[in-house]
């Protein structure tokens, strides 16, 4: 499923090693690295890299996909992740076609690397399909991968993605849904375990789900749920996943645009501080999700209906945030931010600080690669 390949070449490795911090050349180091990244798509500090069905299909150098995360998965974050060699995603669910194009062009301006578009489509009805189809078409013209979540797989939407020559992907939570996504013509599937942050389709742990899904389909499977460290990434790849999908860890990236109160809560939390709940169900009931326990407790303790406001750019207004409303806690919210949903997966204990997205990509892939290399040399000599 994956291979450890030397893709940098000695010249690139030497160049990287020869330029020492503080030397006359070091001022140009970052510019040189930028150039190398651009011209050698698989270059990452001269390292050996993990190649999988995912990296080959997408054309990226690292088998990591940043999760769609509503307004937190903005063009800045997606571009930074893609520039670092992984797959950045922008959430465009609910946007009209012109806005989808505008958002994705913002990514294209920042990177020439592949990136993706995420459509969160709960409650999609047959009547909605024509309208959503146009937004999906707009996304498929610019994105390498277009993915969907929180609805049964729809062949009609997959066909639109393919008609614009993009790849289609569905995030699923069960073997049955994985079969339906394969039958709908998807090129990849995301298997989301119950450890995940945000809304959760999976009802069992990621490893058990991977086992079921990998036996059901031959298309590449991306593992999601609680993956915030290189160790969890290595385990998923070793189990047969073609890539890992990472949400919570990137919610704590500098570029994510998450509110500092929320990001600080992620840094302070451990796996045991998250809960699987339906608490944040105002306007979207019966939709289980994982958040920090403290955000549920703060909302329970809050007196009143409106915990704060959020800025709505399209109308240039502050709209109310209701108690238990499932919103993305961006920098553009105000009020009792502690009582807003602090989405967090069980990997949250690995969030130790707020880092640039590129650093997160490097940490995860370097650690996973080291572990897999060590395991492989110990086990096979
Ligand atoms: C803050 C946050 C917002 C999310 N919003 C979305 C979304 O808009 N669309 C989507 O497909 N998944 C969304 N998810 C779920 C992710 O796709 C993914 O399954 C999850 O982040 C993986 O688990 P992890 O957070 O433990 O890495 C969200 C997750 C988080 C943490």
Q: What is the mean pLDDT of each run of 10 residues along the chain (381 residues)?
A: 38 34 42 47 49 96 97 98 98 96 98 98 94 97 98 97 98 98 98 98 97 97 98 97 98 97 98 98 97 98 98 92 98 98 98 98 97 89 71
Phi, psi of 231 (to 5 degrees): -65, -50
Q: How far is the CA of 226 from the centre of ligand 1 (A)?
A: 10
Q: Which residue, by CA, sits nearest to atom 30 of ligand 1?
A: 198
* Residue 377, pLDDT score: 86
Q: Which residue, by CA, sits nearest to atom 6 of ligand 1?
A: 69
List all residues 6 or more positions away from 28 whose beta carbon is below 8 Å from its beta carbon: 19
Ligand 1 site residues, Cβ closer than 6 angstroms: 67-70, 72, 91, 118, 120, 149, 171, 192, 195-198, 224-227, 245-248, 251, 343, 345, 347
Contact at 8 Å (CB) between 360 and 347? no
Q: Which two tokens stand for residue 194?
A: 């119950």
Q: Which two tokens stand for residue 219?
A: 């298309």
Q: How far is the CA of 351 from the centre of ligand 1 (A)?
A: 15
* Residue 14, pLDDT score: 35
Residue of 188, 199, 200, 280 best suited for mutating to test ligand 1, as the one with most atoms within 8 Å of CB:
199
If we measure between CA atoms, which residue out of 184, 222, 229, 270 comes closest to residue 361? 229
Q: How far is the CA of 184 from the centre of ligand 1 (A)?
A: 22
Q: How far is the CA of 40 from the centre of ligand 1 (A)?
A: 30
Atom of ligand 1 nearest to the CA of 70: 8
Half-sphere exposure of 45 (CA within 13 A, CB side): 11
Q: Report the predicted TM-score, pTM, of the whole model to 2 decimal places.
A: 0.90
* Residue 380, pLDDT score: 81
Phi, psi of 176 (to 5 degrees): -60, -45
CA-based torsion, 129, 131, 134, 136: positive or negative: negative
Phi, psi of 221 (to 5 degrees): -115, 130
Q: How far is the CA of 374 from the centre of ligand 1 (A)?
A: 31
Q: Which residue, by CA, sits nearest to atom 17 of ligand 1?
A: 67
Atom of ligand 1 nearest to the CA of 195: 26
List all residues 6 or more positions away from 310 whose beta carbon is below 8 Å from its beta carbon: 318, 319, 321, 327, 330, 332, 333, 334
Atom of ligand 1 nearest to the CA of 249: 27
* Residue 50, pLDDT score: 86
Q: How far is the CA of 346 from the centre of ligand 1 (A)?
A: 12
Q: How far is the CA of 149 from the centre of ligand 1 (A)?
A: 10
If we measure between CA atoms, which residue out of 262, 293, 264 comes closest to residue 276? 293
Q: How far is the CA of 344 from the centre of ligand 1 (A)?
A: 9
Q: Which two tokens stand for residue 371?
A: 């572990």
Domains and CATH numbers, the chain: 49-256+355-368 (3.20.20.70), 260-349 (no CATH)
Atom of ligand 1 nearest to the CA of 225: 23
């Amino acid at each position: 499923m994956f291979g450890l390949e030397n893709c940098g070449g000695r010249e690139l490795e030497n160049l990287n090693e020869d330029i020492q911090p503080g030397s006359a050349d070091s001022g140009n180091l970052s510019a040189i690295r930028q150039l190398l990244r651009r011209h050698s798509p698989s270059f990452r500090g001269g390292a050996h890299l993990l190649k999988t069905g995912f990296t080959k299909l997408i054309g990226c150098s690292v088998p990591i996909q940043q999760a769609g995360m509503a307004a937190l998965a903005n063009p800045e974050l997606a571009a930074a992740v893609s520039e670092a060699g992984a797959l950045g995603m922008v959430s465009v669910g609910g946007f009209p076609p012109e806005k989808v194009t505008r958002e994705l062009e913002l990514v294209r301006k920042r990177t020439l690397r592949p990136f993706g578009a995420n459509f969160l489509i709960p409650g999609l009805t047959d009547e909605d399909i024509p309208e959503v189809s146009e937004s999906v078409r707009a996304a498929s013209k610019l994105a390498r991968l277009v993915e969907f979540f929180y609805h049964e797989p729809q062949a009609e939407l997959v066909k639109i993605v393919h008609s614009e020559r993009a790849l289609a992907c569905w995030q699923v939570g069960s073997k049955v849904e994985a079969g339906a996504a394969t039958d709908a013509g998807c090129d990849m599937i995301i298997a989301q375990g119950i450890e995940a942050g945000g809304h959760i389709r999976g009802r069992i742990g990621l490893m058990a789900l991977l086992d079921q899904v990998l036996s059901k389909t031959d298309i590449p499977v991306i593992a999601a749920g609680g993956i915030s460290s290189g160790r969890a990434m290595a385990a998923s790849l070793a189990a047969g996943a073609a890539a890992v999908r990472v949400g919570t860890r990137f919610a704590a990236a500098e570029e994510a645009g998450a509110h500092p109160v929320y990001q600080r809560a992620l840094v302070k939390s451990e796996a045991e501080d998250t809960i699987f709940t339906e608490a944040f169900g105002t306007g979207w009931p019966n939709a289980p999700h994982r958040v920090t326990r403290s955000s549920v407790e703060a909302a329970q303790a809050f007196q009143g209906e409106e915990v704060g406001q959020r800025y709505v750019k399209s109308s240039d207004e502050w709209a109310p945030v209701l108690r238990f409303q499932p919103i993305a806690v961006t920098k553009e919210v105000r009020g009792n931010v502690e009582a807003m949903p602090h989405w967090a997966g069980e990997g949250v204990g690995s969030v130790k600080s707020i880092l640039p997205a590129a650093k997160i990509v490097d940490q995860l892939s370097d650690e996973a690669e080291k572990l897999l290399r060590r395991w492989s040399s110990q086990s096979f000599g």
